[in-house]
């Protein structure tokens, strides 16, 4: 394995690991706060139990997120010193702001977790709200920095150096809005559906359990609206990518030739030798329609980019299909759940729906990983789109395969431990059967 | 005297963040060290007290490091790149320590209730707490000795191992470890109302405080590797100006511990740790990475510095009251 590939793999493993926890750090506080708010409003202790249980889970996941995020902040330099040396002054701003947002999140999470008996109820709930808000903001700032790598602005690149630096223009880069919107919605959808999925799964054998019913409802309250809005946000993103990052869109859609009225290819395998996508299902003119809202618009294909600037087309295409497929599925399940909630005011009595929600549990996170593959692999061979190649940014440190292997092992180990802890500590029915008796819903009581 | 430029001011803020990391997160590492060396009849109470003291604040304490890194790569990007190249190995090892310590602590606190698992995570937390400060200190030692070049010339050993694997750098690591353990023990005397437990940590604080003298002496003896640093600390007016208060704070801390005036001891210990850090910075000023890279030379363009300064001002408006609130809720008197 070359050092460049090892560095890229280590970065991918670190990001791929961290993003799961970062997303939970955005989504879980919102669920926690909703549960606590409901408890304060209704006085039903089942909501308090939920808030405390989720807070425990959040504490574990947040801690792993914080330390894996620290690793990343160092790895930017450890692996890509040639990148940081140049771009720090342009995109340091969002990272600095992220530092403050993350600080606020850590402070108030400490207050929230340990402050149940120490501060007033109102202050406690407010601490939870601050965790949720600062968590979302810190995600936004980091994604702004990534958006800059895709559509860099705010500098002039002359003779290998950045001049006329304008960090504000860097922050307001063209992809910033689309990417942050897409990522924030993804965080809420993935977390909401993961929680709903777990409790739907536990409801299947135990459908009257009031604890899981309430958890399911809150999970969907956060996850379903986000999942329904996500296709809209995806459309905004796609149009922007078509304009500013044609190679990424062409790879995602496996479009080899520039053409007017371009079809949308569902599935299929890009054959790099023949430069055509085989076995795919083509929807005529659909890609032009989606990318430019005009069925006859011209969409740039891979042939518009020199061959040595192509990303890995099969990987990007596959990841894109996975992301879009899951996104559509979650939107459908979310709509179905919303329909049931409005029509019958009872989600847990429809077993088909419960099964669908349970099966959707892990999908949001898979879609997020796939989405990051699209945006990161789709930008290659550039680390800063059109400006700096990844190969020119890598550290001269030899033997990176060793650190790549070490971090992979560490993260595998941590992943297993976290999974085990969540399974044994968080994902189960409460000890007492009190919740089921007291809170069995009226629908079931009649039946 | 340092000139009042924006670059100097931001370097000072960077040092404040590092200082805060040392006196806050440093003590959390120190807590892990005392967890590892918990002995005597109240072993379990000692460990519980440490966990109880660290629990609500360690995440926030940890963020000072992230803030320092972010400021470094935004305002002094070439310095960050050079550090990241030359110190790749110790920084990576330190990151392993950071990851294992943080997650082990969380797993132990919120995870399983079984004793075996708790002890295993406790052990991981404690060992990571022991190793990480040494590596952090060694990185500082490599900078002070002027060995961070950011170049791979001369091969792996020459470029990536020799700069930090030196007696001097390791002696700084040892000093950092003793300092962190000292801070933790001093703070812990104020975390309990149990007189015996308090006495346990008073004795530990005295031992760690006394160990700082030989540790500091050792770094000076070995500082032949860092002649500029030694000259700056020992043979210049500004060096003596910082040495004097450091020694004064050290003696005050020990005397206060001796007479059981714990609040004074805490103030003096924090002052001592801070003076050591500022002493290092003042001794090597205006160099950021001796022998060649100056603060002014490494600074980002003015516009970036101005914006970061503005962001820091706004951030401080949010951050400082929040931090004050956190510490008031969990660290106020009489709990």
**What is the C-alpha to C-alpha distance for residues B106 and A106, in angstroms, rounded to an integer?**
13
Phi, psi of A268 (to 5 degrees): 85, 165
- pLDDT higher than threshold 90 for residue B34: yes
Shortest distance, CA B236 to any CA of chain A (angstroms): 34
- pLDDT higher than threshold 90 for residue B331: no
**What is the C-alpha to C-alpha distance for residues A175 and A314, in angstroms, rounded to an integer?**
24
Q: Is the N-terminal amide bond of B256 cis, ω within 30° of 0?
A: no
Q: Which residues in chain A are closer than 8 Å to B84, comparing Cβ atoms?
A: 74, 77-78, 81, 84, 395
Please write the tens of the pLDDT for every residue from B57-108. 888 888 899 889 999 999 999 999 999 999 999 999 999 988 888 888 888 8
Shortest distance, CA B73 to any CA of chain A (angstroms): 5
Total structural domains within chain B: 1
Contact state of B111 with A60 under an 8 Å Cβ cutoff: yes
User: Environment class of residue A63 by beta-carbon count within 10 Å: exposed (0-12), middle (13-18) or buried (19+)?
Assistant: buried
Is residue B44 in a domain?
yes
Q: What's the average model confidence in pLDDT over B285-312?
A: 90
User: Which residue is listed with tokens 């079984």?
Assistant: B114
Asked if A61 contacts B103 with a C-beta cutoff of 8 angstroms, the reply is no
What is the rounded average pLDDT for all residues in chain B? Answer: 89
Contact state of B63 with A421 under an 8 Å Cβ cutoff: no
- pLDDT higher than threshold 70 for residue B111: no
Give the pLDDT score at A430. Answer: 67
Give the pLDDT score at B333. Answer: 54
Please write the tens of the pLDDT for every residue from A150-208. 999 999 988 888 888 899 999 999 999 999 999 999 999 999 999 999 999 999 998 88
State how far the alpha carbon of B139 is from the alpha carbons of A249, A276, B24, B93, B106, in Å: 44, 53, 19, 11, 27
Total structural domains within chain A: 1
CA angle B70, B73, B75 (to 5 degrees): 100
Contact state of A103 with B67 under an 8 Å Cβ cutoff: yes
Which of A44-48, B76-80, B170-174, B228-232 is the least confident region? B228-232
Instruction: For residue A371, give the H/E element and its range.
Output: helix A363-377
Q: What is the pTM of this model?
A: 0.90
Give the pLDDT score at A429. Answer: 65
Is residue B231 in a domain?
no
Shortest distance, CA B246 to any CA of chain A (angstroms): 30
Kindly give the parts of chain A with pLDDT less than 70.
425-427, 429-447
Q: Which residues in chain B are closer than 8 Å to A424, comparing Cβ atoms?
A: 112
Residue range(s) defining the domain that contains residue A81:
3-160+167-446
Is residue B82 in a domain?
yes
User: Environment class of residue A368 by beta-carbon count within 10 Å: exposed (0-12), middle (13-18) or buried (19+)?
Assistant: buried
Please report, rounded to a whole number, the percentage of residues in chain B having pLDDT higher than 90: 52
Of B90, B78, B82, B239, nearest to B146 (Cα)?
B82
**What is the C-alpha to C-alpha distance for residues B87 and A195, in angstroms, rounded to an integer?**
41
Give the pLDDT score at A138. Answer: 92
Residue range(s) defining the domain that contains residue B134:
6-226
Asked if A296 contacts A259 with a C-beta cutoff of 8 angstroms, the reply is no
SS3 of A45, please?
helix
Q: Which of A58, A89, A144 to mutate to test the interface with B (most CBs of B within 10 A)?
A: A89
């Amino acid at each position: 394995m070359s050092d460049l590939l090892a560095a890229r793999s280590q970065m991918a493993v670190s990001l791929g690991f961290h993003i799961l926890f970062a997303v939970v750090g955005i989504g879980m506080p919102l669920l926690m706060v909703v549960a606590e708010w409901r408890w304060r409003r209704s006085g039903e202790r089942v909501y308090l139990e939920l808030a405390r249980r989720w807070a425990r889970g959040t504490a574990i996941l947040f801690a792993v997120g914080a330390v894996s995020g620290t690793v990343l902040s160092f790895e930017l330099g450890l692996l890509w010193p040639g990148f940081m040396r140049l771009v720090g002054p342009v995109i340091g701003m969002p990272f600095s702001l992220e530092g403050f947002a993350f600080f606020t999140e850590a402070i108030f999470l400490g207050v929230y977790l340990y402050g149940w008996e120490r501060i007033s109820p109102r202050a406690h709930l407010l601490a939870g709200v601050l965790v949720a808000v600062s968590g979302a903001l810190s995600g936004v700032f980091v994604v702004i920095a990534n958006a800059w790598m895709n559509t860099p602005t705010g500098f002039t690149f002359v003779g290998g150096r950045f001049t006329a630096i304008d960090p504000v223009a860097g922050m307001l880069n063209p992809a910033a809005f689309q990417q942050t919107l897409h990522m924030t919605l993804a965080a809420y959808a993935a977390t909401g559906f993961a929680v709903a999925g777990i409790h739907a799964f536990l409801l299947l054998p135990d459908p009257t359990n009031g604890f899981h019913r309430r958890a399911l409802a809150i999970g969907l309250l956060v996850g379903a609206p986000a999942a329904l809005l996500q296709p809209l946000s995806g459309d905004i993103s796609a149009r922007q990518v078509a304009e500013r990052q044609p190679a990424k869109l062409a790879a995602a859609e496996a479009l080899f030739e520039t053409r007017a009225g371009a079809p949308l290819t569902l599935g299929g395998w890009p054959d790099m030798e023949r430069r055509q996508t085989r076995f795919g299902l083509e929807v005529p003119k659909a890609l032009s329609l989606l990318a430019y809202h005009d069925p006859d618009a011209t969409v740039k294909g891979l042939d518009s980019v020199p061959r040595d600037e192509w990303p890995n087309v099969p990987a990007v295409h596959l990841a894109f299909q996975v992301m879009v497929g899951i996104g559509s599925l979650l939107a459908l399940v979310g709509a179905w759940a919303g329909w049931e909630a409005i029509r019958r005011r009872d989600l847990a009595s429809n077993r088909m729906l419960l099964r669908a929600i349970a099966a959707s549990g892990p999908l949001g996170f898979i879609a997020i990983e796939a989405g990051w593959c699209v945006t990161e692999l789709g930008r290659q061979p550039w680390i800063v789109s059109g400006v700096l190649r990844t190969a020119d940014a890598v550290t001269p440190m030899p033997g990176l395969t060793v650190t790549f292997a070490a971090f992979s092992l560490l993260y595998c180990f941590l992943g297993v431990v976290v999974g085990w802890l969540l399974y044994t500590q968080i994902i189960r029915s409460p000890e007492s059967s009190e919740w089921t008796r007291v809170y069995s819903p009226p629908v079931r009581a009649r039946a | 005297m340092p000139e009042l430029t924006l670059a100097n001011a931001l370097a000072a803020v960077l040092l404040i963040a590092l200082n805060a990391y040392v006196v806050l997160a440093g003590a959390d590492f120190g807590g892990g060290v005392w967890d590892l060396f918990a002995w005597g009849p109240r072993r379990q109470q000692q460990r519980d007290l440490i966990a109880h003291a660290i629990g609500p604040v360690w995440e926030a304490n940890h963020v000072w490091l992230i803030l320092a890194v972010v400021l470094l790569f935004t305002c002094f990007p070439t310095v960050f790149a050079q550090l990241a190249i030359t110190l790749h190995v110790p920084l990576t090892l330190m990151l392993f320590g950071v990851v294992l310590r943080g997650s082990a602590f969380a797993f132990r606190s919120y995870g399983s209730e079984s004793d075996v698992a708790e002890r295993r995570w406790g052990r991981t937390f404690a060992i990571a707490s022991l190793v990480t400060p040494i590596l952090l200190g060694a990185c500082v030692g490599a900078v002070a000795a002027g060995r961070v070049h950011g170049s791979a010339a001369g091969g792996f050993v020459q470029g990536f191992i020799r700069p930090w694997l030196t007696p001097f750098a390791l002696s700084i690591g040892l000093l950092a470890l003793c300092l962190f353990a000292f801070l933790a023990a001093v703070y812990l005397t104020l975390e309990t109302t149990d007189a015996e437990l308090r006495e346990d940590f008073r004795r530990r604080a005295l031992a760690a405080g006394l160990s700082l003298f030989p540790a500091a002496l050792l770094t000076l003896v070995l500082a032949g590797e860092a002649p500029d640093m030694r000259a700056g600390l020992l043979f210049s007016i500004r060096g003596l100006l910082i040495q004097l208060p450091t020694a004064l704070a050290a003696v005050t801390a020990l005397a206060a511990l001796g007479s059981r005036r714990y609040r004074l001891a805490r103030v003096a210990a924090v002052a001592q740790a801070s003076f050591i850090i500022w002493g290092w910075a003042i001794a090597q000023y205006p160099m950021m990475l001796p022998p060649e890279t100056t603060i002014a030379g490494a600074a980002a363009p003015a516009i970036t510095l101005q914006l970061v300064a503005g962001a820091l001002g706004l951030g401080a408006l949010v951050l400082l009251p929040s931090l004050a609130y956190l510490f008031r809720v969990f660290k106020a008197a009489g709990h």
